[in-house]
Amino acid sequence: MNIFGKIRKKLLADHKVSKYLVYAIGEIILVVVGILIAIQINGWNQNRMNRSKETLILQELHEESKQNLAQFESNKQGYIQSLNACRIVLRNVRKMDAKEAMDSVMRYGPSMFRGITFDPSNGVVESLINTGELQLIRNDSLRRYIATWKNVVTDFKEEEQNSRALWTNHIEPFIIENGNFLNPSDPKNIILFKDPIFLNMIARRQFYVSNIIDAMDREHIEKNLKAMVRLSNVQ
C-alpha cells in the first residue's frame, strides 16, 4: 500500500491526472480481485470443513441406524413369537384335559407376555435437527428420512403403549393375585387358563400384538431405517 501511495502522489505531483485515474481504476480492480480471491479461498475452506463434518455425521448416523435396525428386527421376531404363542394357547385351553394340550399351554404361556418395546437411540438425529446441521447432508432423500423419523417412531409407539398398558394395569396384577410367577408349574397357574377373565385378557393381548406387527409394516419403520443405513454408508 505504501508503494501504491507513492505512485499516486508522484502522478499527481507531475500533473498526470489521466494516468492517475487509469492507475486508480487499476488499483481498485486489483483490490476487488484480491477480495474475490480471498472470498473464494474462504469458501473453499468452509466447504472442505463442511464436507469433513458431513462425513463424521454420516458415520455416526450409520452406526446409530444399524443398531436401531438390529433392535427393530429382533423386536419384530419377538412380537411374532408372542402372537403365535397367544394363538397356540387359545387354541388349546379348551382341551387342557389332554396332556398334549396342557403341555402346549404351559410351554407357550410365558411367551405370550414377552416384555418387548422398541426404544431406538435418537441422539444423532435429534442433534442434527436441533443444531441445524441437517443441512450439511447433501442427499435430499436422506434428509427427508431423518426429518420424519421421530414422527414415524411416535406413531408406532402408540401401538406398543396399548399393549404395555394392558399388561401393567390388568394382566400382571391379575397373575400376582391369582397365579404364581415364581413357580410356573403351580396348579394355580393352570387354573388361570380356565378363568374367562384371564382368557379375555389373552385374546386382547393377541389383538394388540397383531396391531403392533401390522404397524411395523404400515408405519414404514423398517423401510426408513434400511434407507438411513444405506444412504449414510460413506465407506
Those residues whose C-beta lies under 8 Å from the C-beta of residue 234, and which sit 6 or more positions away, are 55, 58, 59, 62
**Per-residue confidence (pLDDT) for residue 171, from 0 to 100:** 93
> What pLDDT, in 10s, does the model give residues 83-92?
999 999 999 9
Q: Is the pLDDT of residue 4 over 60?
A: no
Where do the structural domains in the chain lie, given as residue ranges? 53-231
In sequence order, the 6+-apart residues with CB closer than 8 A to the CB of 186 are 179, 180
Q: 177-222: per-residue pLDDT in tens?
A: 999 988 878 889 888 988 999 999 999 999 999 999 998 888 788 8
Average pLDDT, the chain: 85
What is the band of 62 on the pLDDT scale with cuts at 50, 70, 90? very high
Alpha helices in 95-139 (DSSP H): 99-108, 123-131
The reported pLDDT for the residue numbered 154 is: 86
pLDDT computed for residue 5 by the predictor: 55
Q: In which element (H, E) is residue 205 found?
A: helix 196-218
